Amino acid sequence: MTSAAIKEQFDSYLPLLSNKQQALLLEVAKSLLNVEGASKRITRKQYNKEISEAVVRIEKGNFVTHENALNELSK
């Protein structure tokens, strides 16, 4: 399929979506292209906070093992 054909098909579907769906689709496209995300960095303080929160969750048993994740994905 050519780029022009893809664009034409995409343009025909876009108006069928609600504004909320269009915004979501835009965010997906940005995410795929790493737009805006590449330059945003968190601080060391924020990083350490997130690590501490993760450790607490793990200590409480709130985690998924690799094996369980693979089992869920294979369903």
How far apart CA 4 and CA 39 sit, in angstroms, is 31
24: its two tokens? 């979501």
The alpha carbon of residue 69 and the mean position of all alpha carbons in its chain are separated, in whole angstroms, by: 18
User: What is the arithmetic mean of pLDDT over 14-24?
Assistant: 91
Question: What is the pTM (predicted TM-score) of this model?
Answer: 0.42
User: What is the arithmetic mean of pLDDT over 48-74?
Assistant: 93
What is the structure's pLDDT at 37?
Answer: 56
How far apart CA 40 and CA 62 sit, in angstroms, is 28
